[in-house]
Amino acid sequence: MKRIYDFSRKPAHRNYTVYDLKSLKSSPKKLTMTNPANIDEAKACVEAGIDLFVLGNKEIEGFREVAPTHFMGAASIFAQFGSKAEIIDDAFDKMRRGADMYYTLRSFDVMESLVNEGIPVQSHIGLIPTFSHYCGGLRGWGRTAEEAMKIFETIKRMEDVGVFAVEAECIAEEVLEAINLKTSIVTFSLGSGSSGDVIMSFVADICGQDSEEEKPPKHAHAFGNVGKLQKQVHKERVSALSAFNSEVKKNNFPYPETNISMYPSESEKFMDLIEKWTPIHQ
């Protein structure tokens, strides 16, 4: 555990720092990263030993309460802000609230401006769902030499402006393996093979939370079946609520055992008192 000052200059501890992640480039060690969507998922990730969190555009304080020492990335939605100044303001806000890096899909100019302000920047290469219009939909990337070179050139351009980490999504594994040896940028592999410095997957995919009717993406592997349990919980919840509703309508509930009664003989005293009661002011 490393002693640090966070970006609001408060003393803190972290399991990993930006320096530690950069050091992965010369280490065979692999870290895990995932995206808890709520506090319960974050608690589960902590108990499971997951190394790194990426929170997206969420409030950070609650996650910090359950994972005070975890390295956490935060982000803004691509079209959430129009100007560079707004993006920089949001990045500073996220960092003040406890983030350890800031994810952005915006231009190289914006990335460089954030880096120049001392903010650790993460970006994205390969399949970027936000930009799927431009490539004909969701698909794998880097399957041709020409497209693989575009990925390499993009990551080198990011390197030039100071980006320290990228999410490498659905890239041919041979491509990420080759690129990872030729860049100082820390790579978070999502469906791009095992050569990434960090292996990332989504909580929903790991836990098998998606509907059985939905076809999961190729990179998703369910290590559990939370979706089935969630359906069982929903079914049981509906059954219980229906029974409650039915019993009230039949005038059966509340049941005698759920009610509170007066002490013995106190009821008669109370009824006598209430019969004799007269208002003080008439």
Instruction: Report the number of distinct structural domains present in the chain.
Output: 2
Residues 126 and 165 in one domain: yes
Is 80 exceeded by the pLDDT of residue 211? no
Residues 89 and 208 in one domain: yes
In a domain? residue 68: yes
Tokens (6 digits) for 246: 């039915």
Predicted pLDDT at 19: 97
Residues 170 and 63 in one domain: yes
pLDDT tens-digit series, residues 39-91: 999 999 999 999 999 998 889 999 999 999 999 999 888 888 889 999 999 99
Distance CA 148, CA 171 (A): 8
Predicted pLDDT at 42: 97
Q: How confident is the model at residue 215 (pLDDT cuts 50, 70, 90)?
A: confident
What is the rounded average pLDDT of the residues 207-222?
79
Q: How confident is the model at residue 282 (pLDDT cuts 50, 70, 90)?
A: low
Predicted pLDDT at 212: 59
Query: Which stretches within the chain are classed as H helix?
Result: 18-23, 39-48, 61-66, 84-96, 108-116, 145-161, 173-180, 203-207, 226-249, 266-276
Residues 64 and 165 in one domain: yes
Residues 161 and 236 in one domain: no
Instruction: Out of 200, 220, 240, pick the residue that ends a domain.
Output: 220
Q: What is the CATH number of the domain that holds 26?
A: 3.20.20.60
Instruction: Please tell me whether residue 69 adopts helix, strand or coil conformation.
Output: coil
Residues 36 and 140 in one domain: yes
In a domain? residue 212: yes
pLDDT tens-digit series, residues 118-168: 999 999 999 998 899 988 888 999 999 999 999 999 999 999 999 999 999
Alpha-carbon distances, residue 93 vs 11, 28, 138, 191 (angstroms)? 18, 34, 32, 31
What is the rounded average pLDDT of the residues 247-252?
96
Q: What range does the domain containing 120 cover? A: 2-220
Predicted pLDDT at 57: 86
Residues 115 and 253 in one domain: no
Is 90 exceeded by the pLDDT of residue 178? yes
Residues 186 and 269 in one domain: no
Is 70 exceeded by the pLDDT of residue 108? yes
What is the rounded average pLDDT of the residues 233-260?
96
In a domain? residue 281: no
Q: Mean pLDDT of all residues in the chain?
A: 94
Q: How confident is the model at residue 214 (pLDDT cuts 50, 70, 90)?
A: low
In a domain? residue 282: no
Q: How confident is the model at residue 213 (pLDDT cuts 50, 70, 90)?
A: low
Residues 170 and 31 in one domain: yes
Position with higher pLDDT, 76 vs 188: 188
What is the rounded average pLDDT of the residues 179-193?
96
In a domain? residue 260: yes
Least confident of 35-39, 138-142, 181-185, 194-198: 138-142
Instruction: Out of 220, 239, 265, pick the residue that ends a domain.
Output: 220
Residues 251 and 122 in one domain: no
Residues 249 and 174 in one domain: no
Is 70 exceeded by the pLDDT of residue 11? yes
Residues 203 and 101 in one domain: yes
- Contact indicator for 191, 219 with CB cutoff of 8 Å: yes
Predicted pLDDT at 92: 96
Beta strands 11-14 and 2-5, pairing class? antiparallel
In a domain? residue 156: yes
In a domain? residue 249: yes
Q: Bridge-partner residues for 75, per DSSP? A: 103
In a domain? residue 118: yes
